[in-house]
Amino acid sequence: MRTREEIERHEHAYLAPFAVRSAESKGRLVAEPAHRYRTAFQRDRDRVLHARAFRRLQYKTQVFPYHEGDHFRNRLTHTLEVAQIARTIARALGANEDLVEAIVLAHDLGHPPFGHAGERVINQLLKAYGGFEHNRQSLRLVDWLEERSERYPGLNLSAETRAGILKHGADFPRYAHPVPLPELGPGPTLEAQIANTADEVAYHTHDLDDGLRADLLEWDALAELDLWRRATDAVREEGARDPRILRPRVTVMVIDLLVSDLIETSAARLARLAPKSASEVQSAEPLIAFSPAIAEQKKAVARYLLDHFYRHYRVVRMAAKAERILTDLWQAYAGDPRQLPPHVLERAQGEPEQRAIADYIAGMTDRFAMDEHQRLFDPQSHV
């Protein structure tokens, strides 16, 4: 039987010196007794996993809304893919896997319905009130909006997980936060850097896969991408010929090429700089990085996806529909807040009601937002 203390001793002995150790956590906003069998970061991970907002990710868009097909990625499957990639990187580099996983599982909780189209429209509607950004909203959700205890709002996560969520590609918040913000330090921990980069690896590769599945991308045209061509050649050298397995095998190979290069390049940087603590990592240059050659190939993939996938007329049409739906919802609620469920404004507690409306809309799934739009604007719809 392994107790929490034994796990913490194991971390101290086997994690790299620059990893964040759970026994050295800066704690939670509201102090709680330690658990007998789980470390602080394991508890963070489990709290996120059991949160209502985590379950809602199943019906939130990655690129394609849920009704477009059962096999396209959604926010939940994306999050799980990021977690798998991030754990692999963390394990190879001696970082704290549990902290990485806690950050990753929470990183998209604040994403509104309809993906980045939803984020753009809510940010525009909230310009006068500080804007909207999904990483900041993720922190707001775990700090304030989730409900699990009468003793504190939110999930009461550890300071390191909260900082990792906020530093996941985000600048300091431009709008007020209802509880004290975590101490961010000069830069992110290694675990937060891993979470951020694993996110990029996941969405670039699975967007290629989903684009091919939807016939928005063409297999032969992808051969102009060095990374895709390398992955395809490697899979064919293994003997793969069946078209039904070629696409998923090449997708996996792209991930493997990116992750292997990332691990090896980052390990070399860590060996060169030899940080002796997590705080030294935060004061150093970014340590999680690709080699220059792979970084350029990855940029080429990102440019290709922007030109041929995200700007494809079918994707643009879906985004335009999403923007109309969310704009209509906002205008209806802001114009007459009596149309909101009472609990929405009750939660505001002195904040502008526009922020409470944004919380409500951002928490919706695609399905709920479309149904709510119908309830508000279809005269024959039941309320």
Measured between alpha carbons, how far is 205 from 258 in angstroms, rounded to an integer?
10
pLDDT > 70 in the chain, percent: 96
8 A C-beta contact, residue 159 and residue 189: no
pLDDT score recorded for residue 245: 85
Measured between alpha carbons, how far is 203 from 302 in angstroms, rounded to an integer?
10
pLDDT for 303 beyond 80: yes
Tell me which of 243 and 313 has the higher pLDDT. 313
Q: Per residue in 241-257, pLDDT tens?
A: 777 788 899 999 999 99
Q: Which of 81, 145, 121, 98 is nearest to 4 (CA)?
A: 98
pLDDT score recorded for residue 380: 77
pLDDT > 90 in the chain, percent: 80
Arithmetic mean of pLDDT over the chain: 92
Window from 66-70, 162-166, 341-345, 364-368 with minimum mean pLDDT: 66-70
- DSSP code at position 34: P
pLDDT for 263 beyond 50: yes
Q: Per residue in 15-47, pLDDT tens?
A: 999 999 999 999 999 999 999 999 999 999 999
For 120-129, b/e burial (b = at least 16 CB within 10 A) is bbbbebbeeb
pLDDT for 316 beyond 70: yes
pLDDT score recorded for residue 383: 67
- DSSP code at position 224: G
Contacts of 93 (CB under 8 A, 6+ apart): 16, 190, 194, 263, 266, 267, 270
pLDDT score recorded for residue 69: 62
Q: What angle do CA 325, 114, 45 make, to 5 degrees?
A: 135
pLDDT score recorded for residue 174: 66
Highest mean pLDDT among 226-240, 268-282, 336-350, 369-383: 268-282
8 A C-beta contact, residue 93 and residue 209: no
In the numeric block, which tokens belong to residue 182? 């975590």
Query: Average pLDDT, stretch 51-69?
Result: 83
Q: Per residue in 149-185, pLDDT tens?
A: 999 999 999 999 999 998 754 555 567 888 888 887 8
Measured between alpha carbons, how far is 133 from 274 in angstroms, rounded to an integer?
34
Measured between alpha carbons, how far is 376 from 383 in angstroms, rounded to an integer?
8
8 A C-beta contact, residue 247 and residue 209: yes
332 residue type, one letter? A
pLDDT score recorded for residue 171: 57
pLDDT for 382 beyond 90: no
What CA dihedral angle connects 234, 235, 241 and 246, to 10 degrees? -130
Find how far residue 304's CA is from the centre of its chain: 22
Where does the pLDDT of residue 344 fall: very low under 50, low under 70, confident under 90, or very high at 90 and above?
very high
pLDDT score recorded for residue 44: 98
- The answer to pTM > 0.75 is yes
Burial (CB count within 10 angstroms: exposed 0-12, middle 13-18, buried 19+), residue 169: middle
pLDDT score recorded for residue 43: 98
Measured between alpha carbons, how far is 287 from 266 in angstroms, rounded to an integer?
6
Tell me which of 62 and 235 has the higher pLDDT. 235
In the numeric block, which tokens belong to residue 66? 């849920």
Contacts of 323 (CB under 8 A, 6+ apart): 114, 117, 118, 120, 121
Contacts of 286 (CB under 8 A, 6+ apart): 187, 193
Helix (H) or strand (E) holding 273, with range, is helix 243-273
Q: What angle do CA 76, 208, 106 make, to 5 degrees?
A: 25
Measured between alpha carbons, how far is 156 from 44 in angstroms, rounded to an integer?
8
Query: Average pLDDT, stretch 288-314?
Result: 96
Query: Average pLDDT, stretch 373-383?
Result: 85
For the chain, report the end-to-end CA distance as a whole number of angstroms: 54
8 A C-beta contact, residue 227 and residue 257: yes
pLDDT for 147 beyond 50: yes
328 residue type, one letter? D
pLDDT score recorded for residue 169: 47
